[in-house]
A = this chain, B = another copy of it.
Amino acid sequence: MSGKLHIYGDNRSGNCLKVRWTAEHLGVPYDWTDVDVLSGSTRAEEFLKINPSGQVPAVILPDGRTLSQSNAIIVYLAGLADSSLLPTDLYERAKVNEWLFWEQYSHEPTIAVRRFQKAFLNKPDDEIDPQLLAKGRRALGQMELALAARDYLVGDGLTVADIALVAYTRVAHEGGFDLSDFPNIRGWIARVERDLRIDQAEAA
């Protein structure tokens, strides 16, 4: 990629960090513009020109074209770099996609949403939909099972599936999810954080 990628994001949002970590890991130069998700600025007209959904992350590519949806962005960056973050084998690639779609349907809407309500909106537990805790724990149980037999979610090494899933799993405790029952997940988080050179202190 010639020229610079421009990422619009909020550093407290796992979806945005996915894009930052992928760019860092691939050595893709980028500029970052902070967009505060709590201030309503993602609904401002200027931002809606970049992403009509009014969501971060969104990127402007060096040629001026835009792209949004965190998982679409990281797959694009990995594909453009011809990186092993996106396997070339079609079945492995499909398994990466399986995790990515599962993340957006079953993991983020429970684990990230409960964390947002607790840690950012400061909602007391009794004002939070109790289903979020149950469904989030079920999602973690599924990851724990998958990671019993393997070090990474797909194949033998780091892929964008790990990047997408680690984003909110590593801060699940902020959403009231106790990871002490999930040793495979904890080992995997440590591996992925090491691979991505994520400072453990950031997790707080």
Contacts and interface: CB of A to CB of B under 8 A. Distances in A.
A183 interface: no
Contact of A97 (B52, B72, B80): B72
Interface string A40-78: 000000000000110000000100010111111101100
Count copies of this chain in the complex.
2
Given A53-B102, A101-B104, A67 B79 contact: no
How many A residues touch the partner, as a band? 20 to 34
Contact of A67 (B73, B95, B104, B105): B95
A93 B97 CA distance: 13
Interface in A96-120: 97-98, 100-102, 104-106, 108-109
A72 B101 contact: yes
Interface of A is mostly: helix
A105 B51 CA distance: 15
Contacts of A80: 90
Contact of A98 (B72, B95, B109): B72
A203 interface: no
A76 B94 contact: yes
Contacts of A39: none
Contacts of A71: 97, 101
A141 to B, nearest CB: 9
A134 interface: no
| Residue from A91, A97, A102 having most chain B Cβ neighbours under 10 A | A97
Interface of A: 52-53, 61, 65, 67-73, 75-76, 79-80, 90-91, 93-95, 97-98, 100-102, 104-106, 108-109, 142, 145-146
